[in-house]
Amino acid sequence: MVGDLLTPQEAENFVEERIESFGLSALPKVLVREQPDGRWSVRWDSHARVERPMTMAEWESWLERHVGTLDPERLGTNEG
């Protein structure tokens, strides 16, 4: 396998770490819950999608496409 699939909690933690590092305006809070069929229910702002579980690389790419940039230079820093 190219990469291990994330758990919903690991996916949420990844976004939380970015918010902690770059501030609340960097990314919206993203909620990820496992559905009975194993897919993820992903919610942020007023959006919701159902997705298959992803590896870290897939999750980063998905976030870039659907939620917002993960580029540290574009996010800025929370430190002054």
DSSP letter for each residue of the chain: --SPBPPHHHHHHHHHHHHHHH-TTTS--EEEEE-TTSPEEEEETTEEEEE---BHHHHHHHHHHHT----HHHH--S--
**pTM for the whole thing?**
0.82
User: What is the structure's pLDDT at 70?
Assistant: 77
Instruction: Write the pLDDT tens digit of every residue in 33-76.
Output: 999 999 999 999 999 999 999 999 999 999 999 988 777 666 65
User: What is the structure's pLDDT at 78?
Assistant: 47
User: What is the structure's pLDDT at 68?
Assistant: 82
User: What is the structure's pLDDT at 36?
Assistant: 97
Instruction: Write the pLDDT tens digit of every residue in 16-33.
Output: 998 888 887 788 999 999
